[in-house]
Structure 1
Amino acid sequence: MSAFIADWLNILLRWAHLVVGITWIGTSFYFIALDLSLRAREKMNPGVFGTAWQVHGGGFYQVEKYTVAPEALPEDLQWFKWDAYLTWVTGFGLLLTQYYFNASAYLIDKSVLDLRPGEAILISLLTMGGGWFLYDRVCRSRIGQNTALLAIVVFLGIVAASYMLTNVYSGRGAFIHVGALVGTIMACNVFMIIVPNQRKIVASLLKGEAADPKYGKIGKQRSVHNNYLTLPVLVMMVSNHYPLLTGHPHSWLLVALILVIGAMVRHFINRHEGGDHFREISWTLPIAAIALVIAILMTAPRVDPAMAGRAVADADVTAIVRTHCVACHAATPTHEGFTEAPKGIMLESLEDVRRYAALVDMQAVKSEAMPLGNETGMTEDERHILGAWIAGQ
């Protein structure tokens, strides 16, 4: 695939992914907030669990939720599913065009594990499919009947998968696959559980039968899971822009911290919207803050002893940059994946390197984000030499 076509596919898929993803997230946030705002009233229709009064856009709305389902199926029933389906489809399309078609550059790092592109792609597919299967089995087991225990098991499962992925893929490949795994779980919750259960309830109504409340209960459980996973998965999906996350030697621990931060913030917002007093939910904010501070400290810049006081000749830096950087970062790149320098950054001279020294330091010294997939085999000593030269400028 030519770089020009790949770029346009990437742009269109990313645009579509953002649009449908925002819609799905907004729907999830709204319905959880709606559910928590329901109140029992003196006068309610038969079978109604609770109602909520809301105001938006200059209008007032009254919303009802049935304990199980209304006695008869309304003619204009609206289904909320396509935003979830299309979010996964466009996300997988991005994974395909960005990571599968360019597996050697974006997915594989031979210093981590020497894989062939086909092997890397197979591991990707098995991780997403197997992750959903294991998650679903746990939810259906006795563990799934205990909310706190289930949350811990799911958390540990995602962290374990993150550890595995960081020992298989490049830094950015591992992080994006944690997001893909969680996103697959969320989409499958809708496709495999929530919507099918809703269809079972609809089928009962069409037969004139009473709907089984267990289907709504199970659907609600998975919907809540999706809601709590939303904030962490958003960070995973933009992680390729931040080498301080993807390039960290213990990035799987950062995944664990991101899960904690996202879950705590989401719980605080949910319970606040549900009417809980601040003192009842304030415990979530210190936990999120502590996790954030740990993440910041983990990623804080450190001076490598190998760089301290090391004299580096300009010629050595020029040789390193020409070997490992200029194939992509040039006015006319020779790398088959690029028709122009990524982000417009060219490193064809020492003045260029000085101009972008902070970015080079972050991407190629303090992390191994560059070269992509370490295709050129940049060594640790070369990174130390480059870092020492930048520190002396």
Structure 2
Amino acid sequence: FGTPNAWIIACLVFLIGVTIRHYFNSIHARKGRPNWTWAVTVILFIAIAWLSSAPGFDGDVEQAEAVPLTRYEMRFAQAEGFEQAHEIVQGRCAMCHARAPAWDGLRWAPKGVLLETRADVARNARAIYLQAGVSHAMPPANITDIPQEDRALLTAWYRAGQ
């Protein structure tokens, strides 16, 4: 459910159920063993695994910056403390949460959360607040060493935009 491809994945899971059910219905009706259904099931499963970790199709940074802000994004972009919050996110989060992450081993942004542009930061204000401000879950093991003062600034910015 955490991917833009969730609806496709749900459809493929349904089809896996169909192929497995067809196999067992054929056996119980004594109409042979349609072993081809297992190959189809494996192919569908591989497609699900790939889609669940595939990146979204968000274009490049220039395209993202050209899109006007929504009312929701504007609310947080105009909130007090946004400039500092944006700077913190750019310095501590954007290397992984980018359209082309700079962190070794990452091919796309974790969970598809992008934090490169002002709109990206404003769009993900609640997630930033919860993950970096309140729970300290991000970054994992505080790998970018976000000081408590920066976390407090992120929290204050989000609350100012509510």
**Higher relative contact order (Cα pairs below 8 Å, separated by 6+ residues):** 2
Q: TM-score when scaled to structure 2?
A: 0.48
Q: TM-score when scaled to structure 1?
A: 0.20
Relative to total residues, which structure has the larger helix share, 1 or 2? Answer: 1
Q: Compare CA radii of gyration and give the structure with the larger one.
A: 1
Relative to total residues, which structure has the larger strand share, 1 or 2? Answer: 1
